[in-house]
Amino acid sequence: MIYRFKITSPEVEDFEREIEIGHEQTWLDLHNAIQESVGYDNSQMASFYQIDASGQRGLEIALFEMNTEDDDNMNVVAMDVAMIREFSSKENADLIYVFDFFSDRFFNISLVDKGISKSTANYPVCLISNGDAPTQIMMDAENFEGMDFSQFETKSDAPKTADDYLSEFDDEINDGPEFENLDDYEDIL
């Protein structure tokens, strides 16, 4: 069984990818195919989310397993163990793929076809690649303009020297016995 996903961006109107993937492959395989098709650094955090009829995020398919044994959160599964067929169907065809967590930026993903493979291609395969992908990460020095950082305590802009650090220590404090070697310490025990 082969699944075909259409990937679009709410940021870039002419951006479109279509990727076919086998039903026994994992969401990590789809993640890597998307990353390769858009030229992103695939070491950045990313997650797929199922979207319900009202547009709310449901099940998260995360890049890394973050649950602990004590964690009751069954709404998160790891990409490397979740197979495509387990979390995608015609009834639950819409997902989002968050690729920039700091700015909550994502691609829209829709299951557009499901069927028998007519090809001998190795899957996943990108069939359609139109338009340039948006920038992967938006949080950089340019995006800090206009942000209010007044709540944070600031110190002098001048870099500290070794003398500045050493001056913070008070060598004159003498609250206990002085030892010249380990034998002196043993004598008081």
d(CA 135, CA 142): 13
Q: Provide the token pair at 58.
A: 């449901």
Has residue 55 been placed in a domain? yes
Domain count within the chain: 1
pLDDT of residue 117: 78
In b/e form, how buried is each residue of 24-50, taking b as 16+ CB within 10 angstroms? ebbbbbbbebbbebbebeeeeebbbbb
Has residue 163 been placed in a domain? no
pTM check: above 0.85: no
pLDDT of residue 42: 82
pLDDT of residue 55: 86
Q: With a cut of 50, which residues of the chain have pLDDT below it?
A: none
Residue position matching structure tokens 């942000």: 147
Has residue 23 been placed in a domain? yes
Residue-range definition of the domain harbouring residue 60: 2-142
For every residue of 120-133, DSSP letters joined together read -PPSSEEEEEESPP
Has residue 179 been placed in a domain? no
pLDDT of residue 131: 95
Has residue 171 been placed in a domain? no
135-172 per-position pLDDT tens digit: 998 765 555 555 555 555 555 555 666 666 566 665 56
d(CA 28, CA 84): 9
Has residue 165 been placed in a domain? no
pLDDT of residue 182: 63
Has residue 13 been placed in a domain? yes
pLDDT of residue 36: 96
Domain CATH for 132: 3.10.290.30
pLDDT of residue 23: 92
